[in-house]
Amino acid sequence: MSEHFDRLHALPEGFFGIGTANIRSLFPNPTLIQLDGRDQRFLFVSILLHGNEYTGLRVMQRVLAEHAHDLPRSILLFVGNVRATESNLRFLPDQVDYNRCWPGTLLSPGPTTKMMQRVIEIAHGQPLFAAIDIHNNTGRNPHYACITDPRAENQNLAAMFSRVGTVFNHRGVSTMAFDGICPAATLECGLPGDPAGIDNACHFIEQLLTLDALPTEPPPRETLHLVESHLSMEIPEQISFEFDLDADADLRFEPDIENRNFTLVDPHQVFGYTRVERPVLITDTDGHDVTDQVVRVEDGKIYLNNTMMPAMITRDKLVVRQDCLCHLMQDYLPNHEAEL
C-alpha cells in the first residue's frame, strides 16, 4: 500500500499565510500541486522533505505571491513531510527519511517509497524544464547547490545558486530521481529561516521561471568550484559523544567544530578525541564500511588519512543519530576515482 498524498490544481486558500505549526490545517497529507503557467515546461519543486527545514515553504510563498495572477512557467510543487513539519522534526520516529526514499533508494519497498515512485511517475509524465529540491542545513554552512549528475546543464544550474557546488551520489534522494530526465539540483540554504538563504533561493527560482535554456558547456572554475561528496561519517549508536573536550564521553569534539564546514582538514590535524578503538563509521554511497581507509586513531586522537573537506557538520544530536555527523568531500575530478 502506498502512503496517501493529495493532488491539487491550484493553491489552497490560505497558502500565503500558513506557518509550519499549523501546516496540516491546509495540507493534511503530502500534496502535489500543479500550477499551469505560460511556459508549459514544468519546474518541479519539492519542499519540506525534512520537516524542520522550512525555507522552501517561505521561498515558494514569496515567489508564488509575486506571480499570483501571471505565472511565467508551469510548476509542480510537492509539499512533503507535513506531519514532521508541524512537530519541527526532520522526520518522526515511525517514518523513513523523505529524502532517502525516492526511486533508486536502498530502502526496502514500503508505503513512502511507493508514494515517491508515484510522484515521480506523474512528474515524468509532464514536459520538465528542471527539478529543484529546497533544503536547509542543521549546522553553519555556506549556501551551496548539490547535483547527482555532473553534466554541464546541472553544473550551470548549481552555479546560478552559488559558487560552491557538490556532486553527491546518495541513493534515494529527490534530485537523483530526475537524472537523465531534466536538469536537477538540491539547494542548501543555510539554517532554517535564514533571510539570506530565502533571498538567494527566491532569486534563483525567479530566474528559472523565465530562463529559456541552460548553457550546454560547463561553467569555468571561477564561476563554480565543484567538490564531490562521497563519504558519510556516522556515530554508532553505542558510542556516546559530546561537543565538549572535558565531557565524559566515548567521543569528544571541539565546541566550534561547525567552523570546519567547507574547510580543508589535512592528515595532521586532529578531528576529534576518543577513548574507544573505533568511534566512528565511514560509509560510501553504496553503504559500504570504509572506516579504516579513511580515518585512524592514534593516542586517543582521530585523524583523516587524506586531506578532505567536511560539510554539513551538525551539533544537533538527533540529526546525528538519524543521519550522520557530516559528509567528507574532495575536489571533483571527472573520470577519476576519489582518493580515500
pLDDT tens-digit series, residues 82-117:
999 999 999 999 999 999 999 999 899 999 999 999
- Beta carbons within 10 angstroms of residue 290's beta carbon: 15
3-class SS at 125? coil
Average pLDDT over every residue of 51-64: 98
Domain ranges of the chain: 6-223, 230-331
CA 307 to chain CA centroid, nearest Å: 24
Instruction: With a cut of 70, say whether residue 337 has pLDDT above it.
Output: no
Instruction: With a cut of 90, say whether residue 265 has pLDDT above it.
Output: yes
pLDDT at 210: 96
**Domain 6-223 annotated CATH 3.40.630.10:** yes
Instruction: With a cut of 70, say whether residue 81 has pLDDT above it.
Output: yes
pLDDT at 335: 56
For residue 14, the 8-state DSSP code is T
Contact 175, 147 (CB under 8 A): yes
pLDDT at 336: 46
167-176 per-position pLDDT tens digit:
988 889 999 9
208-221 per-position pLDDT tens digit:
999 999 999 999 98
Integer Rg of the chain from CA: 20
Average pLDDT over every residue of 6-23: 97
pLDDT at 229: 79
3-class SS at 304? strand
